[in-house]
Structure 1
Amino acid sequence: MASNFNNINLVAQENTKRLQKTIPDTMKSFKALQDSAYKAGALDEKTKEFAALSFAIADKCEGCIGNHVNKLIKLGATREEIAEIAGVAIVMGGGPGSVYGGKALQAYDDSTDA
């Protein structure tokens, strides 16, 4: 049985495909912006993904949480690192950050069967 965050990721990916088909120029530009912003520079890619995850938690974007957690897993992030970033997001996002910080750990657990 697929996990909650696996389903959220699948739905988000399908919705992105809908947008790519309907507004291809906008989505190509958005993808180029993403590629540029996440490219390693003064900060490495993993650090940038942690920053993105903290915003995803604070902004309560489940699709974003799943996406950035999956990218962080590929970059070698641990569950403990995800938890610490959730802690930072809780400070920045207050009570809602604590709820969505737990969702980030759920996304990690769902993606790794921890």
Structure 2
Amino acid sequence: MGNFEEINKRAQKNTGRIQEEQPDFMRAFKKLQQEGYKDNALDEKTKEYIALTYAIADKCEGCIGNHVNKLVKLGATREEISDIVAVCIVMGGGPGSVYGGKALEAYDEAAAK
């Protein structure tokens, strides 16, 4: 099991804890997510690229793993993830390079499955 697989499982378990305590809120949040990622002026893949960019900028490893997994399923390539990393470095400097590297690590793990 790769590092990001473990991170994703822990994040899902922690989200489950919130679900137990705040079921109505989490149902509403899930609905918000579903609405936000629907194809509209931007397709789902483009929206996932944006979410990954934010995840890298916000230094959220669970988010990086989650959005990379979704992007792999949507057909994203390692080169596309690398381009996102480059933009994150331009916008975020050194931290973008550290967490951008984590996005490529997560891609390598997800694509190897």
Structure 2, unaligned stretches of length 5 or more?
none
TM-score, with structure 2 as normaliser:
0.96
Distance (Å, rounded) in 2 between the aligned partners of 1:93 and 1:26: 32
What is the correspondence of 1:63-102 to structure 2 with a 5 Å cutoff?
63-102=62-101
Cα RMSD, aligned residues only: 1.1
Deviation per CA, 1:4-32: give whole Å up to 9, x if none: 00100010111111111111111111111
Secondary structure of the corresponding residue to residue 41 of structure 1:
coil
Aligned to 1:103: 102
Paired positions, count? 113
Aligned to 1:36: 35
Distance (Å, rounded) in 2 between the aligned partners of 1:93 and 1:55: 11
Query: How far off its partner does 1:112 sit?
Result: 1.8
Q: Sequence identity of aligned pairs in percent? A: 67
TM-score, with structure 1 as normaliser:
0.95
Query: How far off its partner does 1:90 sit?
Result: 1.2
Which letter maps to 1:65? I
Runs (4 or more) in structure 1 with deviation over 3 Å come to none
Distance (Å, rounded) in 1 between the aligned partners of 2:41 and 2:59: 28
What is the correspondence of 1:51-62 to structure 2 with a 5 Å cutoff?
51-62=50-61
The reply to whether residue 26 of structure 1 matches residue 32 of structure 2 is no
Secondary structure of the corresponding residue to residue 40 of structure 1:
coil
Deviation per CA, 1:38-71: give whole Å up to 9, x if none: 1000000000000000000010000000000000
Structure 1, unaligned stretches of length 5 or more?
none
Query: How far off its partner does 1:113 sit?
Result: 2.4
